[in-house]
Amino acid sequence: MWQNKMPDYVSKTKTIVDKKFDVLIVGGGVSGITIALQLQKSGLQCVVAEGHNLCFGTTGGTTAHLNNFFDTTYADIEKKFGEDSAQLIAKAANQALELYHSNIEQYNIDCDYQQKDGYLYSQNDKQTEELDSIFQASIKAGVDVGYTDRIPLPIEFQKAIVYHEQANIHPAKYVHALAKIFEEKGGVILQNCMVNDFEGDDELNVDTSLGKMTTKILIWATHIPPGINLLHFRCAPYRSYAMAVSLNDNAYPDGLAYDMYDPYHYYRTQDIDGKKYFIVGGYDHKTAHEENTEACFNKLEAHIRKYFNVKEVAFKWSSQYFEPADGLAYIGHLPGNPDNVFVATGYGGNGMTYSHIAAISLTDLITKGQSEYAKLFDPGRVKPVAGFSNFVKENADVVKEFFGKRFSQEKLNELSELAKGEAKLVKFEGKSLALYKDENGDIHAVSPVCPHAKCSVGWNSAEKSWDCPCHGSRFSVNGEVLTGPARIGLEVIEIENLVQEEKH
């Protein structure tokens, strides 16, 4: 729902052969563009390469609450990382919110930015106990929070706390505005430019779909870095569902709100082009672990209708985020790579805030050689936490199944049982196929084996994509990569030829 038309200020193609840059930032989401502008402010010549178009990734599917508290609560952070770390992350989050504020003020950006209070409320005794400990830890961390006897929703609650001076924005308007400023100041943005690989050490020679370029520093702002890396075992892909509705009684809640279920619901109101929308999200699950993704929308809609007088469901969408193993993002040097390769990932559901923490921290790391947040978010940190070994095992759950490219009439008969718009994984003679029948009745057949780490993909009916449960790569029905870390698509099974052959 956030998609703007493709802005004409952003270079769609540019000859980059032999161009040398100080920093190549890969990814044109909120992270990539904010990091690029921040580095440019420090005098570096930067280029952003985006494989599709700006906001193609999760930034185009976010609900854009800007918070100084996280899904990993201050109580959890204090327990796992200590009181000092909780204070440091609160400081980082406050700086991130200030950076939004100062960018918007300095460049006079029209992105529907509004400061609002954020309410967290409990609905049973267990949640209330947890809420009290979150409140205490938030106070200790130095966050501006208080108890409140009201929440902005018509939902019963036991106890509530309010975090002051949170905010919401229109994410695409914000990112496009920053991109425009970045280009006007001499930055280069390349859309439809997939970064494939690089080689070298001091100077990195980068291979992209638009040609080769050279850079001193490379930053993967791709939500999850491509290829196989330690971080793929420390980040798990999840999907979350969101819906924007209009209300009959105009009773749009004024504020951001969150309940305490797992997964939790999140609520806010947004004005877009003079119309109000109430945006609610939730029903998160691990990617490809829910067979009927459409049912998640149904549950979300039923939840909204239970409490609100819904006039119309205007938009619904789902998108992906990456949950870090120990609860904190990974921002800094990418393990197993030269010193001049950096990453920002593992944001959980707080990437709008983390993207700006990444911009602040990476700029300091690159221009000053140090950042006060470097240790806290070090991607190479070893933080043994309960459940970590299961987390790794689950993510390394590799399918050892391979198959030939062709199959027989018997299989085709089975295919005909698919309804239009339906997809399924089928087994035939011990081999697996991922099949989808489109609205014209044509079958699209690909191998379900994700080329990244050989896990088996699952069908996402809401987005009509094949999603990998292990590391979150997503593929179109024809096997093309929609979202990394996979660099290449699913193997296509040539059934049309086969159908022709069988017919003769």
Binding region for ligand FAD (CB under 6 A): 26-32, 49-52, 56-59, 61-65, 194-195, 221-223, 226, 240, 242, 281, 319-321, 347, 349-353, 355, 484
| Nearest distance in Å: CB 344, ligand FAD | 6
| Nearest distance in Å: CB 319, ligand FAD | 4
| Nearest distance in Å: CB 78, ligand FAD | 21
| Nearest distance in Å: CB 27, ligand FAD | 3
Closer to ligand FAD by CB, 63 or 103: give it.
63
> Can you point out the beta strands (E) in 59-113?
65-66
Calpha distance 22→33 (Å, rounded): 15
| Nearest distance in Å: CB 233, ligand FAD | 19
Q: Residue type for 277, please?
A: Y
Q: Which of 324, 316, 323, 325 is nearest to 296 (CA)?
A: 316
| Nearest distance in Å: CB 480, ligand FAD | 12
Strand partners, 190: 49
Closer to ligand FAD by CB, 48 or 495: give it.
48
DSSP state of 92: H
Q: Which of 315, 304, 263 is nearest to 284 (CA)?
A: 263
| Nearest distance in Å: CB 33, ligand FAD | 8
- Token pair belonging to 73: 């609560």
| Nearest distance in Å: CB 246, ligand FAD | 19
Q: Which of 29, 145, 150, 35 is nearest to 94 (CA)?
A: 145
- Helix 74-81, helix 125-141: angle, nearest 10: 70
Calpha distance 233→335 (Å, rounded): 12
Closer to ligand FAD by CB, 241 or 308: give it.
241
Closer to ligand FAD by CB, 401 or 480: give it.
480
Closer to ligand FAD by CB, 63 or 447: give it.
63
Q: Is the peptide bond before 263 cis (omega within 30 degrees of 0)?
A: yes
Say if strands 159-168 and 114-122 run parallel, antiparallel, or are unpaired: antiparallel
Burial (CB count within 10 angstroms: exposed 0-12, middle 13-18, buried 19+), residue 389: exposed
- Token pair belonging to 365: 């790391």
Closer to ligand FAD by CB, 81 or 297: give it.
297
The count of C-alpha atoms lying within 13 angstroms of the C-alpha of 171, restricted to the half-sphere facing its C-beta, is 27
Burial (CB count within 10 angstroms: exposed 0-12, middle 13-18, buried 19+), residue 84: exposed
Minimal CB distance residue for ligand FAD: 351
Closer to ligand FAD by CB, 159 or 265: give it.
265
Closer to ligand FAD by CB, 95 or 222: give it.
222
Q: Which of 389, 392, 382, 350 is nearest to 232 (CA)?
A: 392
